[in-house]
Structure 1
Amino acid sequence: MTLPIPASFLFFLFLLPMLSADTSADREALLSFKVAISDDPLGAMNSWNESTPLCRWRGVTCGSGTVNLSLNSLSGEIPSALGNCSGLLHISLWNNKLRWRIPGGISNCTKLETLSLSENYLDGEILPELGSFPKLQFLGLYSNNLRGPIPSTLADISTLTTLDLSSNGLRGGIPPELGPFPELQSLGLSSNNLTGGIPSSLANISTLTLLDLSNNGHGGSIPPELGHLSNLTVVFLFTNDLTGAIPPRLGNLSKLTDLHFYENLLVGEIPPELGGIKDLNFLDVYVNRLSGRIPSAIWNLSSLILLHAGYNQLSGPLPRDLGETLPNLANLHLFGNQFEGGLPPSLSNATGLEVVEVSQNRLGGVIPFNLGKLQSLTWLILSDNSFQAREEEDWNFITSLTNCSNLTKMGLQNNSLGGVLPAAVANLSRKLDTLLIERNHIGGRIPEGLGSLGELSMLRMGRNLLTGEIPASFGELTDLKHLTLEDNKLSGEIPPSPGGLSNLSKLSLGGEPAGGEDSHRTLEA
């Protein structure tokens, strides 16, 4: 029999063996648990009575001691008497509505191998007694209201393979004693209020494959010793206050697939040693203070699926062969840096690209015309750069992008785009909900067919040199919430809409256009 998979980052199945004999002690202990439950809306314990053999009670498997009442919306508390079930091997009560504290008496279940109490409303501190289980392998307490420190006594459970205390209100530092676990594979302490540095003693857990310390208040530097954890595949250290440089020694983590450092205070350059992790899929250093160029070893990491380096101080040009060296790239986030040069046409060779977000840099030149090869593209955000368009052929990228049937957002605002917006813009994806071209030098009339983009919710075309009337087809944009046309040379009235533009929450038509006439006096809302 197999339990459902817990809704956490841990991907484990609890294999339930068949349970022990029907003893009076076990019966009384379990009946005391039933009494402590104030609400059993699904009738999970209807069969728990004196007239029914214990081994036929729902959720109880006789043979070796298993109680599994997960996913039943049970309310109430866990009684200490449950600890009288000396033969229990597995207690699984996750995803209920249990309250109050974890009873210390449960530590009397000396044969326990699985204790899963996650996704409840348990509060109070984690009792030091929980460290006295001699055979416990899985301890899951995530998503409760537990507070106080992490007891150092948990390090006494030498048999643990999984320890998940995430999403609680735990405080204090990570006890250095947590280092010597000989069997631990997954350590989850994320989303608490933990502070202090990351103990270098964690590097002694040689069996560790997943380390999640994210969303806390950890400070100090990343211990270089973590590079000794040769079995690590996933490292989550994001949303902390970590300082210093990324240790080059982390490049020794040859099995790593996920490395997430975003939202910290890290400085220095991205170590080229990280480019030696041949199976790295996700590298996320978003919102730090990293500087210098991204090493060529990273640009040549063919396994990368996501590269997120937004909001740092990175610089230099993007490699000309970017799309060839990163063939599996799906998400490229480089916004808010100091990258310069052009957008490489080779980008179109990364045919699985879904997101290209390079806004707020110093990129320029003509936008490559072949981006339409990226048929998985959903976001193209090139805003706040110096991209140019002077001649009609400079706008050929729009015609190419009509092949991108999944495109939902395109941001071209605050560049140096000129000339006339091509009629092909009306043939963009019917899924397009955001089109931003404001603060450019675009002239001519607004293409009549633009109103065919019926799912547009945001259309911003202000601060250009647009002329003529607003196309009548605009009346078909019934999903429109934001429309800005200010600071142009437009005239006439807003076309009537079948839906009365009932979803419109922001309309900006005024301002001083280049021609000098205040447009809000000629346009009527």
Structure 2
Amino acid sequence: MKNETDWLALLAFKDGISEDPLGVLSSWNNSLRFCQWVRATCSRRQHQRVTSLNLTDHSLVGYLSPHIGNLSFLRRIDLSTNKFKGEIPQEIGRLFRHQVLNLTENSFQGEIPSNLSHCSELIISIARNQLVGELPPELGSLSKLIFLSAMFNDLSGSIPPLLGNLSSLTTLFLRGANQFTGALPISLSNAISLEFVDFSSNSFSGHVPLNLGSLSRLYHFNIEKNQLGNREGDDLSFLTSLTNCTNLKVISASVNNLYGELPGSIANLWRQLNLLVLGRNKIFGIIPKGIENLISLYGLGLQVNSLKGTLPDSFGKLNKLQALSLYGNKFSGQIPPSIGNITQLSNLYLDVNDFHGSIPLSLEIWDLWNNFSFLKINSMVPYSNESAQLKSTCLITHSLGLSCWK
């Protein structure tokens, strides 16, 4: 009987578990039909076949049995936040009805099975494991894939260009602890449903594609902590294409090798933009006119570049700004008093520049300690405290997973 196949597959799954401290699998025995076993869900329409296995966050220790591939009606596997180890069995590729694979936060090793492309996967999350090797190019054939997260592994190689053909893909997480290299694929612009892109903390290099404006749904674009840039003077041209992304809220490209001037087009970025972080690059020139158009900004980071000139008085119109980091540049002149009128501003970094004159009264009267803020302008320091600095630096960006301002 086919449902006996499911029963034997579940027993084999249980045999692969060496520790079950919460006893979640204690009901998996002959006293109950397997469709009554905890966390195993069957479909009545499919003659009592297992369709879902949800064992998230149960502190299970063991190996994922290859017999998982015999659960031919399985649509969902969620084994996240456990202590599974060993390789992801190739037999998962036999589950052609499979839609959700969540193995996040385990200790899986080895490579990603290339035959996952045989499934009808909509969601794949293999983040926070110990996987190695490259992203299988075959993933580019999962035409219905909407979510892919492989962050915090030890993956390497380049992004398969075929991923750009996935017109249903909304989320692509490849950040952190991985070692991806090469250029960001131009084909990415074909993934027209993309909303959330995070390639941070890798070793990507070369130009940022200039055709990203076709991603009309994009709202989060994070490429910080890479080696992007060709030192040809136009490395920031991609910002112009992003002006077509009408839903964009976050741009972070800090800690790269981006070389050039800030394009005047950044004033045309959509008014709902909340965060623009371009610190620790090789940006020179002045801050373009029209920066005050970005009325929804609550974080602006341009620190450790070679920007010069005076600060525009129009900064005072950014009345939602909570963090402004301009330290480590070549700004000169006086500090605009209008900055002190930004009532929500709680993180201000202007040190290591060439400002002169006195600190505007509107800044001097800040109760900096009570607001966990830190202000330093060369030697003109009305009040500072190291612990306040440490508390405030990551206040705005931490919730978004972005770098600190310093």
TM-score bracket for this pair, using the shorter chain length: 0.7 to 0.9
Cα deviations by residue, 1:385-405 (Å, 9 ceiling, x for unpaired): 111153454433111110101
Cα deviations by residue, 1:198-257 (Å, 9 ceiling, x for unpaired): xxxxxxx96221211102211111122222111111111111111111111111111111
AA at the equivalent of 1:271: P
Q: Which residue number in structure 1 is paired with residue 172 of structure 2? A: 332
1:284 aligns with one of 125, 129, 142: 125
Within-5 A mapping of 1:106-117: none
2-structure distance, mates of 1:509, 1:241: 46
1-structure distance, mates of 2:30, 2:321: 56
Are the structure 2 counterparts of residues 389 and 522 from structure 1 closer, same or farther at C-alpha, using a change threshold of 3 Å?
A: farther
2-structure distance, mates of 1:185, 1:461: 58
Cα deviations by residue, 1:448-501 (Å, 9 ceiling, x for unpaired): 211211111111111110101111121111111111111111123343448822
Are the structure 2 counterparts of residues 481 and 389 from structure 1 closer, same or farther at C-alpha, using a change threshold of 3 Å?
A: farther
2-structure distance, mates of 1:179, 1:398: 62
Identical pairs, percent: 39
Shift of 1:183: 6.9
* Contact 2:168–2:191 under 8 Å retained in 1: yes
1-structure distance, mates of 2:179, 2:340: 44
Q: Which residue number in structure 1 is paired with residue 220 of structure 2? A: 379
What SS does the aligned partner of 2:35 have?
Answer: coil
Instruction: Verify: 1:295 aligned to 2:136, yes or no.
Output: yes
What SS does the aligned partner of 2:87 have?
Answer: coil
Shift of 1:172: 3.1
1:490 aligns with one of 310, 331, 347: 331
1:233 aligns with one of 65, 70, 75: 75
Cα deviations by residue, 1:167-191 (Å, 9 ceiling, x for unpaired): xxx93351263478547289538xx
Are the structure 2 counterparts of residues 524 and 462 from structure 1 closer, same or farther at C-alpha, using a change threshold of 3 Å?
A: farther
2-structure distance, mates of 1:377, 1:185: 43
Mean CA deviation greater in 387-396 or 229-238: 387-396
1-structure distance, mates of 2:208, 2:346: 32
* Contact 2:83–2:107 under 8 Å retained in 1: yes
Are the structure 2 counterparts of residues 446 and 179 from structure 1 closer, same or farther at C-alpha, using a change threshold of 3 Å?
A: farther
Cα deviations by residue, 1:325-347 (Å, 9 ceiling, x for unpaired): x2211111111211110011111
Instruction: Verify: 1:217 aligned to 2:59, yes or no.
Output: yes
AA at the equivalent of 2:109: V
1-structure distance, mates of 2:325, 2:308: 15
Instruction: Verify: 1:208 aligned to 2:68, yes or no.
Output: no
Higher alpha-carbon Rg: 1
2-structure distance, mates of 1:181, 1:252: 28
1-structure distance, mates of 2:290, 2:350: 20
What SS does the aligned partner of 1:297 have?
Answer: helix
What SS does the aligned partner of 1:419 have?
Answer: strand
Cα deviations by residue, 1:52-71 (Å, 9 ceiling, x for unpaired): xxxxxxxxxxxxxxxxxxxx
Unaligned runs of 5+ in 1: 1-154, 156-169, 190-204
TM-score, structure 1 normalization: 0.60
Within-5 A mapping of 1:3-402: 171-175=22-26, 177-178=28-29, 182=33, 184=35, 187-188=38-39, 207-277=49-119, 279-324=120-165, 326-336=166-176, 337-388=178-229, 390-402=231-243
What SS does the aligned partner of 2:57 have?
Answer: coil
Cα deviations by residue, 1:8-58 (Å, 9 ceiling, x for unpaired): xxxxxxxxxxxxxxxxxxxxxxxxxxxxxxxxxxxxxxxxxxxxxxxxxxx
TM-score, structure 2 normalization: 0.77
- Cα RMSD, aligned residues only: 2.6
* Contact 2:250–2:276 under 8 Å retained in 1: yes
Instruction: Verify: 1:467 aligned to 2:308, yes or no.
Output: yes
1:506 aligns with one of 338, 347, 351: 347
AA at the equivalent of 2:28: E
What SS does the aligned partner of 1:172 have?
Answer: coil
1-structure distance, mates of 2:30, 2:173: 35
Shift of 1:367: 0.7
* Contact 2:140–2:164 under 8 Å retained in 1: no
AA at the equivalent of 2:151: G
Are the structure 2 counterparts of residues 395 and 223 from structure 1 closer, same or farther at C-alpha, using a change threshold of 3 Å?
A: same
Shift of 1:521: 4.5
Are the structure 2 counterparts of residues 255 and 177 from structure 1 closer, same or farther at C-alpha, using a change threshold of 3 Å?
A: same
* Contact 2:27–2:37 under 8 Å retained in 1: no
Name the structure, 1 or 2, with higher relative contact order (CA <8 Å, separation 6+). 2
Shift of 1:321: 3.6
1-structure distance, mates of 2:331, 2:382: 12
* Contact 2:22–2:58 under 8 Å retained in 1: no
Are the structure 2 counterparts of residues 480 and 228 from structure 1 closer, same or farther at C-alpha, using a change threshold of 3 Å?
A: same
Instruction: Verify: 1:423 aligned to 2:264, yes or no.
Output: yes
